[in-house]
């Protein structure tokens, strides 16, 4: 079982030491990385400012197939087979080719953590010098370091400072209540560039507004949207949301989730991609600690894996900028076309799902652990020489085979 030690108040004692892998950030991306390292024999430390599962900042929704693929259905709250989109000219109901589900944040994080073989400590990460990460409790050393701390990209040479950064902003309220529809509002009376939403989660509603313009404040429209659907504006939560892909590696550090901009620009969906890229990063780190490749090889491979998705993110960013410029009648016409053609809707949403397909999480587990190597090995030598021939990695080949089998079936 993983070791979990949270220090608060007078118990917040000094923390220092050396580990094989240091994962900074204990939400979706960081926990996905740590879970891939289970069973390797590596000493893994996960650090976060908050307790695991303590602070949710999203509506906590994801394609159901991803909950299933990751073994996380225990956190499931409610499933939807269609999406209702409201505009000033009317509403459409789109039948989805796959279902979407809400989940409980704390329960999902606990399930991810149960699959880990690591230690956990609460500490605020301040920065880094080489292989040393500085926290408010002391310095931590590791040859393999992951930044999964969110949009601030704390361990990078330069971070982001809103509102002068490619960030969206989102805020939501969580009134008690029930609902049967997953709803979205594309209505400039709420937000000029962005959308509103209402995601039921069994015994509560998650109602919010997100703006693609970081300078547009969303508290007032969030309160107004909640009132328009007959709900009180209570239990606020929100955060900045990156909407531009960034380098997944920098100066020997692996970046994953929001710290790498792994959030889909058009929809602001970031949980699925945090798991997807977290798994990819974790598998590269696993290969290092098992002596299958060097740290530098893993850095290059993970960087290239993320970069191969850049065109998808650019396309969605262009769409994000285009939608607010559409005349309401043009947008209404497009949505009506989707509603009338289930085949077109299925094609569009299936392509959206393939940006981060669930088959990736279902791949066979990595090989059995080997003898753990020294820290020097991670940086300078490979237990097994591997030349980069431009071909896909083992993980990517397996994914390709899974996709081909699916297309045949």
pLDDT digits (tens, 9 = 90+) for 69-86: 999 999 999 999 999 999
Read out DSSP for 151-201? TT-TTSSS---TTSSSEEEEEEE--B---S-EEEE--TTT-SSEEEEEEE-
44-48 vs 21-24, strand pairing mode: parallel
User: Three-state SS for 96?
Assistant: strand
User: Residue 321: enclosing H or E segment and its boundaries?
Assistant: helix 310-322
Q: Is residue 18 packed enough to be buried (19+ CB in 10 Å), middle (13-18) or exposed (0-12)? A: middle
Calculate mean pLDDT across residues 217-238: 96
Q: Cβ(332)–Cβ(277) under 8 Å?
A: no
Residue whose pair of structure tokens reads 């087979």 in the numeric block: 81
pTM metric for this prediction: 0.89
How many CA atoms lie within 13 Å of 376's alpha carbon, on the beta-carbon side?
A: 0
User: Residue 320: enclosing H or E segment and its boundaries?
Assistant: helix 310-322
Which residue pairs, CB below 8 angstroms and at least 24 apart, start in 219-228? 219/171, 221/190, 221/191, 221/196, 222/171, 222/172, 222/173, 222/196, 223/173, 224/190, 225/185, 225/190, 225/196, 225/198, 226/173, 226/175
Kindly report the average pLDDT of the chain as a whole number. 88
Domain residue extents for the chain: 3-57+66-73+104-165+243-360
Give tens-digit pLDDT for 125-152: 999 999 999 999 999 999 999 999 999 9
Assigned token pair, 281: 């990063």
What pLDDT, on the 0 to 100 scale, is given for residue 383? 39
Q: What is the 3-state secondary structure (H, E, C) of 247-276?
A: CCEECCEEECHHHHCCCCCCCCCCHHHHHH
Determine the Cα–Cα distance for residues 64 and 103; give it in Å rounded to an integer: 10
User: Cα-atom radius of gyration of the chain, to the nearest Å?
Assistant: 21
CATH of domain 3-57+66-73+104-165+243-360: 3.50.50.60
Give tens-digit pLDDT for 147-201: 999 999 999 988 777 777 889 999 999 999 999 999 999 999 999 999 999 999 9
């Amino acid at each position: 079982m993983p070791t979990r030690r949270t220090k608060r108040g007078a118990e917040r004692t000094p923390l220092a030491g050396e580990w094989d892998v240091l994962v900074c950030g204990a939400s979706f991306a960081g926990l996905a990385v740590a879970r891939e390292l289970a069973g390797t024999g590596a000493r893994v430390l996960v650090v976060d400012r908050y307790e695991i599962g303590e602070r949710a900042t999203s509506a906590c929704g994801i394609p159901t197939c991803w909950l299933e693929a990751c073994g996380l259905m225990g956190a499931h709250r409610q499933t939807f087979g269609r999406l209702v989109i409201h505009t000033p000219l009317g509403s459409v109901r789109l039948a989805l080719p796959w279902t979407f589900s809400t989940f409980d944040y704390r329960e999902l994080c606990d399930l991810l953590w149960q699959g880990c073989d690591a230690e956990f400590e609460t500490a605020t990460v301040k920065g880094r010098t080489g292989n040393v990460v500085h926290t408010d409790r002391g310095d931590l050393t590791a040859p393999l370091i992951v930044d999964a701390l969110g949009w601030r990209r704390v361990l990078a040479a330069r971070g982001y400072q809103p509102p002068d950064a490619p960030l969206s902003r989102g805020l939501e309220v969580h009134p008690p209540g029930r609902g049967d529809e997953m709803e979205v509002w594309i209505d400039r009376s709420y937000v000029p560039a962005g959308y509103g939403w209402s995601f039921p989660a069994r015994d509560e509603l998650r109602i919010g507004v997100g703006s693609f313009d970081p300078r547009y404040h969303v508290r007032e429209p969030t309160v107004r949207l909640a009132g328009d659907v007959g709900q009180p504006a209570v239990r606020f939560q929100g955060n900045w949301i990156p909407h531009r892909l960034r380098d997944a590696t920098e100066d020997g550090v692996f970046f994953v989730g929001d710290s790498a901009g792994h959030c889909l620009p058009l929809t602001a969906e970031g949980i699925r991609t945090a798991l997807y890229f977290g798994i990819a990063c974790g598998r590269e780190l696993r290969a290092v600690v098992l002596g299958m490749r060097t740290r530098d090889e893993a850095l290059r491979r993970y960087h290239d894996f993320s970069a191969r998705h850049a065109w998808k993110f650019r396309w969605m960013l262009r769409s994000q900028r285009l939608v607010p410029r559409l005349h309401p009648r043009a947008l209404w016409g497009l949505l009506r076309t989707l509603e009338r053609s289930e085949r077109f809707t299925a094609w569009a949403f299936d392509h959206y799902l393939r940006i981060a397909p669930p088959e990736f999480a279902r791949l066979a587990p990595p090989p059995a652990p080997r003898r753990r190597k020294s820290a020097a090995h991670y940086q300078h030598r490979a237990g097994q020489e591997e030349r980069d021939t431009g071909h896909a990695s083992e993980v990517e080949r397996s994914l390709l085979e899974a996709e081909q089998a699916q297309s045949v079936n």
